């Protein structure tokens, strides 16, 4: 059994040692109150690469995550595996006494997500979802304005995560049985969660949507930056659109694609309230000032690239676990987002609106 370090150090381990785990590690190593202690992955090569980069002993690399949890007893775990493994990995870590940061989406479906939340509560452990976009300065700028009442009642939101040619040509992103879906659950989840967060996280009650597959399951000779995806195993949607109704009367629409005939890739959202509206990227608020319609933009925002909000996500999780500071991405929000995703997919299958419980 590994010896516990000073209480001021968070002993941190990983289930899944792929690229996203490397992103977690790259920021965690900047924090003096974190110690990386172990890895678990079926790929010994992936673990060896990260172990060498981040000085993790080879004896602390395990092909069995259950064995790693038992022997190392980490304080915190990042779950960075494919979507289909999020629930069993997270539940095992929580039951082993670790706080967990699980990457998005929270699970394959809302039933799994609720079980994860219930397990965290039963074991009195912290569970946070990897929703980094709510930590960016564009998001905090708009959320602070919403919280201050500048928008009044928010009636509508529209979010887009659209790629013209962006089917991942690595990993298992095109396999529904391992991922749960395609662009809606992979990239749509991010713009959906941050829009929902800025709107005040209202409770979803119904969903309507559709999905289409028309290009990803065919071989393509079109020149693009991500060519030669595995079209033979491709079983997810190319394009998904949906609409969510909330208990406060608001409506949110989402459009998400891996591959679609659009002008350019788009990743942004807009909201409309009774007193003001806004755009996320570039950040702007639209309101009336006296007799005039006015557009307001911030004179300065702190850097908000992918690395900046990813680092803020990791710092927030460490602060949440070590110092009991609040998190911006609680598991309860993850469950609501999962219910919205489930609702859109269920509506697409049914061809009608479905209720969200």
What was the pLDDT predicted at 302?
A: 84
What's the token pair of residue 221?
């000779």
Tokens of 85: 């493994």
The domain defined by 135-302+336-355 carries CATH number 3.30.360.10: yes
Sign of CA dihedral 67, 316, 194, 203: positive
Average pLDDT (131-140) is 96
Residues of the chain with CATH 3.40.50.720: 10-133+313-327
Query: Is pLDDT larger for residue 1 or for residue 249?
Result: 249
Helix axes 65-72, 86-95, angle to 10 degrees: 20
* Both structure tokens of 342: 């489930």
Answer whether residue 11 shows pLDDT above 90.
Answer: yes
Pairing mode, if any, of strands 276-279 and 284-289?
Answer: antiparallel
For the purposes of burial, counting CB atoms within 10 Å of the CB of 282, is it exposed (0-12), middle (13-18) or buried (19 or more)? exposed
Tell me: pLDDT of 1 over 50: no
pLDDT of residue 7: 54
At 2 the pLDDT is 43
For the segment 330-348, the average pLDDT, to the nearest whole number, is 98
* DSSP reduced 3-state for 5: coil
Contact by Cβ (8 Å): 34, 13: no
Computed on alpha carbons and rounded to an integer, the radius of gyration of the chain in Å comes to 21
CATH superfamily for domain 10-133+313-327: NAD(P)-binding Rossmann-like Domain (3.40.50.720)
Give yes or no for residue 4 having a pLDDT over 90.
no
* 106 pLDDT higher than 70: yes
Q: Which of 6-10, 149-153, 200-204, 223-227 is the least confident region?
A: 6-10
Nearest Cα neighbor of 131 from 314, 283, 270 is 314
pLDDT grade for 305, boundaries at 50, 70 and 90: confident
Do residues 99 and 69 lie in contact, with contact meaning Cβ atoms separated by under 8 Å? no
| pLDDT tens per residue, range 235-286 | 999 999 999 999 999 999 999 999 999 999 999 999 999 999 999 999 999 9
Task: Go through 325-353 and write b for each residue having 16 or more CB atoms within 10 A of its CB, e for each that does not.
Answer: eebbbbbebbbbbbbbbbbbbbbbeeeee
The answer to whether the CB of 268 falls within 8 A of the CB of 159 is: yes
The interaxial angle of helices 189-198 and 137-147, nearest 10 deg, is: 30
pLDDT tens digits for range 172-223: 999 999 999 999 999 999 999 999 999 999 999 999 999 999 999 999 999 9
CB atoms within 10 A of CB 93: 31
- Examine the pLDDT at 6 and tell me if it is beyond 50: no
Res 8: pLDDT? 79
In whole angstroms, what separates CA 177 from the centre of its chain?
19
CA distances from 192 to 93, 102, 106, 114, 260 (A): 27, 17, 13, 19, 19
How confident is the model over 75-99, as a mean pLDDT?
Answer: 97
List where CATH 3.30.360.10 sits in the chain: 135-302+336-355
Mean pLDDT value of segment 34-58: 97
Rounded-to-integer distance, Cα 260 and Cα 104, Å: 23
Nearest 5°: phi and psi at 217?
Answer: -95, 15
User: How high is the mean pLDDT of the chain?
Assistant: 96
Q: How many CB atoms lie within 10 A of CB 156?
A: 15
When pLDDT is cut at 50, 70 and 90, the band that residue 28 belongs to is: very high
Query: Is 209 in contact with 344 (CB distance < 8 Å)?
Result: yes
Residue 304's pLDDT band (cuts 50, 70, 90): confident
**Whole-number Å distance between alpha carbons of 77 and 4:** 15
**For residues 306 and 312, what is the distance between their CA atoms, to the nearest angstrom?**
10
């Amino acid at each position: 059994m590994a010896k516990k370090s000073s209480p001021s150090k968070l002993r941190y381990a990983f289930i899944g040692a792929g690229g996203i785990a490397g992103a977690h590690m790259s920021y965690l190593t900047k924090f003096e109150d974190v110690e990386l202690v172990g890895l678990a992955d079926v790929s010994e090569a992936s673990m060896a690469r990260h172990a060498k980069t981040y000085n993790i002993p080879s004896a602390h690399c395990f092909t069995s995550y259950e064995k790693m949890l038992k022997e190392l007893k980490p304080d915190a775990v990042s779950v960075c595996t494919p979507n289909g493994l999020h629930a069993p990995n997270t539940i095992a870590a929580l039951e082993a006494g670790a706080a967990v940061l699980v990457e998005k989406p929270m699970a394959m479906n809302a039933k799994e997500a609720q079980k994860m939340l219930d397990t965290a509560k039963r074991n009195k452990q912290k569970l946070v979802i990897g929703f980094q976009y709510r930590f960016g300065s564009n998001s905090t700028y708009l959320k602070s304005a919403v919280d201050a009442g500048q928008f009044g009642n928010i009636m509508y939101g529209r979010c887009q995560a659209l790629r013209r040619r962006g089917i991942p040509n690595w990993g298992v992103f095109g396999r529904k049985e391992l991922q749960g879906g395609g662009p809606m659950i992979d990239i749509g989840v991010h713009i959906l969660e941050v829009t929902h967060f800025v709107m005040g996280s209202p409770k979803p009650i119904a969903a309507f949507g559709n999905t289409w597959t028309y290009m990803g399951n065919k071989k393509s000779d079109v020149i693009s930056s991500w060519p030669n995806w595995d079209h033979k195993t491709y079983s997810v949607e190319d394009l998904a659109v949906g609409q969510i109704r909330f208990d406060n009367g608001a409506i949110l629409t989402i459009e998400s694609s891996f591959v679609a005939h659009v002008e350019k890739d788009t990743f942004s959202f807009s909201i409309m309230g009774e007193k003001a509206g806004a755009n996320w990227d570039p950040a702007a608020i639209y309101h009336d000032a006296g007799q005039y319609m006015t557009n307001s933009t911030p004179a300065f925002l702190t850097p908000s690239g992918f690395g900046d909000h990813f680092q803020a996500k990791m710092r927030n999780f460490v602060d949440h676990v070590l110092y009991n500071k609040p998190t911006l991405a609680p598991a309860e929000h993850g469950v609501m987002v999962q219910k919205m995703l489930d609702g859109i997919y269920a509506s697409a299958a049914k061809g009608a609106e479905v209720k969200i419980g």
